[in-house]
Structure 1
Amino acid sequence: MTRKFFGTDGIRGRTNVAPMTAEIAMKVGQAAGSYFLRGSHRHRVVIGKDTRLSGYMMESALVAGFTSVGMDVIQFGPIPTPAVALLTQSMRADLGVMISASHNPYEDNGIKLFGPDGYKLSDEAEAEIERLLDVPTALAPSRDIGRARRVEDARGRYIHAAKSTFPEDLRLDGLKVVIDCANGAAYQVAPMALWELGAELIQIGVTPDGRNINDGCGSTAPALLQETVVASGAHIGIALDGDADRLIVVDETGQIVDGDQLMALIGTSWARHGLLRGNGIVATVMSNLGLERYLQGQGLTLERTSVGDRYVLEKMRKSGFNVGGEQSGHIILSDYATTGDGLIAALQVLAELVKTGKPASELLRLFDPVPQLLKNVRFSGGKPLEDKNVKAAIAEAEAELVGKGRLVIRPSGTEPLIRVMAEGDDSAQVTRLVDMICETVKAAG
């Protein structure tokens, strides 16, 4: 079934352009509310958001939709996505909503939905909500219209939960940390949690104005963090994205550390302490071959999934893993959270920094990534991957890389693009093969 509104991570788009309009947001509230009106208890939905200007509009529209079908609404204000997932479960809500477009610019916004267990909704649930968008809504009788209220201590609850994942016998005293909150959802909670644990903080990306979220800061624009870490002599830099479910680290020399290195560190540390389940970690097809080889050398496995943290989590839950994530910095630690959590992942890294006494540049360089190249090819129509010449080029490249590298070819889920990625021990070979496939796709499309 082709989905009209939901993508791989909820509904997302340019604000005031369908599907990201107040009208559709209200209908989503009505449809999702109707879907979760089960049982005789008083029904409740919790709503969080990031710092986008449009968050006020989308929140008001969603509140109208939910209350109109008889659901009570609890509003948290700006708070990370993982906090919404956590509080959905702990407050016994029927549904959790996060209003955010993650690492996108402020002009965009999105709606992410969580079930009562704190996990993102299944494809089947999203499909049913989409169906309900196209049918008349059964509005609640006047006496049963829902109430809305704000909870002011939601951020404190999340800070407490995040800090509880940090070893009780450790403190961050003497550690100088630069924290970049992307002018997003974690601009209050992340610095407060680190300060309470004793860190000396330098804060950037903590002055949101509705338009500067992810603007030259955060995990997708780490240059400012790199400069600040080096200039201040900090031990480490931490960058979150707009809704704080993604983490990128910068070591004391200003070098970026991606999600692959972070997963390697956390996974092997947990393995040494008998905490790792599944005898390995879960990552996507985009994670570097160097990570896979490093884990094999440690007697651990790397299970790969399609791109998207929901697929990583699906595999983790199905096969009993408790560490997984993406190269881009989504780190899922299922002992502590039901979705990616940048702050909790950062606390695991900081704990290792304190315990080992090693500089971040040493601690976080567990393997040398093999050369990897990704290029996107735009096409005008048709199905280029079914073209015989494209198939032949891919087969030729795969044959060359046997035992020496990998090839990942996939269509974009949102644009008319073919993504061509190759990695291997020979950088020149990787570049040549990617270019060959790209040219063949262009000729076919």
Structure 2
Amino acid sequence: MLVILMGKYFGTSGIREVVNERLTPDLALKVGKALGTYLGEGKVVVGKDTRTSGEMLKNALISGLLSTGVDVIDIDLSPTPLTGFAIKLYEADAGVTITASHNPPEYNGIKVWQPNGMAYTSEMENELERILEKGKFQQVSWNDIGELTRADPKKEYIKKALEMIELSKGYKVVVDCGNGAGSILSPYLQRELGNKVVSLNSHPSGFFVRELEPNAKSLLALSKAVKSLGADVGIAHDGDADRIGVIDDQGNFVEYEVMLSLISSYMLRKFGKGKIITTVDAGFALDDYIKPLGGEVARVKVGDVAVAEGIVRENAVFGGEPSGTWIIPQWNLTPDGIFAGVLVLEMIDKLGPLSEIAKGVPRYVTLRAKIPCPNEKKAKAMEFIKREVLENFEYKRIIDIDGIRIENDEWWILFRPSGTEPIMRITLEAHTKKKAEELMEKAEEVVKRAIKSV
């Protein structure tokens, strides 16, 4: 069954739009009112990343919440992991992060979190949209307006993290926060762990000097720094630090798929055999690498909320996406690139240099493509793609819980509409470069014809 869920406001990762186009202070105010109406009472933690529009949108959202009688704890500049931690620390009924994660600086967004640190599900977001559309918000009298307090949970976060991570010695670590919200926490946690820390792009200015997604291209400066300084590892984050990118001790970017396999295997060693949750865009290397350790892979829709739901449902040991988004259930159900960074250090401490342990992970050829596609064309384009796939590709299995993934024993292709950008994504994997390139050429042709036909 092919299902595409795309709300008017909420995508796969909350609301994410260009500021003062679709995402305005008026919309933020209404989202605050809708969330307060949905909750009825209680308290909400609100944080923001470093974007220049964050203060404007945060204040509008807080005003909406207060008008419904809901109390607000403003933690101000805060990476998403810290917001998730603060929700549980302050026993709040929900949390909100004003962030557009890895999107460019002209974007911002609103993401809502449950009391357990998990993001709001699509059903919960649909209910918020229903309240928004109806426009009938809870409104209290002047003497019942919610109370606004301010808090800083960073010390508690660091203290708790240090209780869970243990190193036998200190390491030299270079941390690149992309001038995002991780700047106020990630380097400090690494230092408190006993490491010698060198920070790059760790000024929370809201002006980003590199692409925020921590990939091989955007982390060239980090790679050079690790190599020239003789560091043991480089850790990088996106705008709200819910993701992690890793540079090994030789200055090489560790591919997302390889890093996902490594950390999954370490979690199985640390906590015992069990399920590993990942998404439909993850490759076969993970399955092949963790099987000897008693691990079993279960795939879910793309998005951290689907991974978190899968972790809870399967009582899984770990969950992660091949985008550097990891959820460590023993810590929290919020994706956390900052805690992931110190977990990587513990793995290195126990298993050896990253460049050496990474050699054991199978390497297959993974290719990705993004093709522009207006949001309103995505549903019909996917229907066209499914017909073309059925007629023109020879495969053994099909997974259609999120886009369309076709597989046989030596390759797979995923066609999927982005939930955060006006693009169609193609992700594929094959055992040889030649086969991967052949599949990508064919897949791109299908997607372009689909978009043109709509």
Q: Do both proteins adopt the same fold according to a TM-score greater than 0.5, normalized to the shorter chain? A: yes
Map 1:427-442; keep pairs closer than 5 Å. Answer: 427-442=433-448
Matching residue of 2:241: 244
Q: Give the Å deviation of 1:405.
A: 1.8
Matching residue of 1:60: 59
Matching residue of 2:403: none
- CA distance in structure 2 between the aligned counterparts of 1:197 and 1:247, rounded to whole angstroms: 18
- CA distance in structure 2 between the aligned counterparts of 1:21 and 1:225, rounded to whole angstroms: 35
Q: Give the Å deviation of 1:129.
A: 1.2
Matching residue of 2:283: 288
Letter in 2 for 1:6: F
Matching residue of 2:144: 144
Contact 1:240 1:246 in 2 (8 A): yes
- Report percent identity of matched pairs: 34
Matching residue of 1:177: 173
Contact 2:12 2:420 in 1 (8 A): no
Summarize the Cα distance change of 1:355–1:441 in structure 2 as closer, same or farther, 3 Å threshold: closer
Summarize the Cα distance change of 1:98–1:401 in structure 2 as closer, same or farther, 3 Å threshold: closer
Matching residue of 1:109: 108
Map 1:212-251; keep pairs closer than 5 Å. Answer: 212=208, 215-216=210-211, 219-220=214-215, 221-251=218-248
Summarize the Cα distance change of 1:324–1:138 in structure 2 as closer, same or farther, 3 Å threshold: closer
User: Which stretch shifts more, 434-443 or 306-315?
Assistant: 434-443
Matching of residue 351 in structure 1 with residue 346 in structure 2: yes
Letter in 1 for 2:103: N
Summarize the Cα distance change of 1:350–1:54 in structure 2 as closer, same or farther, 3 Å threshold: same
Q: Give the Å deviation of 1:206.
A: 1.0
Q: Give the Å deviation of 1:172.
A: 4.3
* Cα RMSD, aligned residues only: 2.3
- CA distance in structure 2 between the aligned counterparts of 1:201 and 1:217, rounded to whole angstroms: 21
Q: Give the Å deviation of 1:303.
A: 1.4
Q: Which runs of 5+ in 1 are unaligned?
A: none
- CA distance in structure 2 between the aligned counterparts of 1:377 and 1:181, rounded to whole angstroms: 28
Aligned length: 432
Matching residue of 1:90: 89
Matching residue of 1:12: 16
Summarize the Cα distance change of 1:58–1:123 in structure 2 as closer, same or farther, 3 Å threshold: same
- CA distance in structure 2 between the aligned counterparts of 1:403 and 1:396, rounded to whole angstroms: 9
Matching of residue 386 in structure 1 with residue 384 in structure 2: yes
Q: Give the Å deviation of 1:30.
A: 0.8
Q: Give the Å deviation of 1:246.
A: 0.5
Render the CA deviation track for 1:356-387: whole Å, top value 9, x for unaligned. 3x222112333132012222344685436436
Map 1:324-339; keep pairs closer than 5 Å. Answer: 324-339=319-334
Render the CA deviation track for 1:145-200: whole Å, top value 9, x for unaligned. 1222221x321122222222202xx3542x11101111111212111111111111
Q: Give the Å deviation of 1:228.
A: 0.9
Summarize the Cα distance change of 1:377–1:109 in structure 2 as closer, same or farther, 3 Å threshold: closer
- CA distance in structure 2 between the aligned counterparts of 1:280 and 1:301, rounded to whole angstroms: 5
Letter in 1 for 2:89: S
Matching residue of 2:182: 186
- CA distance in structure 1 between the aligned counterparts of 2:73 and 2:382, rounded to whole angstroms: 48
Contact 2:410 2:430 in 1 (8 A): yes
Letter in 2 for 1:195: R
Contact 2:118 2:305 in 1 (8 A): no
Contact 2:43 2:92 in 1 (8 A): yes
Matching of residue 406 in structure 1 with residue 412 in structure 2: yes
- CA distance in structure 2 between the aligned counterparts of 1:437 and 1:180, rounded to whole angstroms: 35
- CA distance in structure 2 between the aligned counterparts of 1:230 and 1:50, rounded to whole angstroms: 30
Matching residue of 2:359: 365
Letter in 2 for 1:57: M
- CA distance in structure 2 between the aligned counterparts of 1:414 and 1:101, rounded to whole angstroms: 9
TM-score in terms of structure 1 length: 0.90
Letter in 1 for 2:156: R
- CA distance in structure 2 between the aligned counterparts of 1:147 and 1:326, rounded to whole angstroms: 38
TM-score in terms of structure 2 length: 0.89
Matching residue of 2:71: 72
Structure 1 runs of 4+ off > 6 angstroms?
A: 396-401
Summarize the Cα distance change of 1:401–1:31 in structure 2 as closer, same or farther, 3 Å threshold: closer
Render the CA deviation track for 1:320-341: whole Å, top value 9, x for unaligned. 1020101110011101111211
Letter in 2 for 1:386: F
Q: Give the Å deviation of 1:271.
A: 2.6
Matching of residue 268 in structure 1 with residue 265 in structure 2: yes
Q: Give the Å deviation of 1:435.
A: 0.7
Of 404, 423, 429, 2:429 maps to 423
Letter in 2 for 1:206: S
Contact 1:331 1:342 in 2 (8 A): yes
Matching residue of 2:401: none
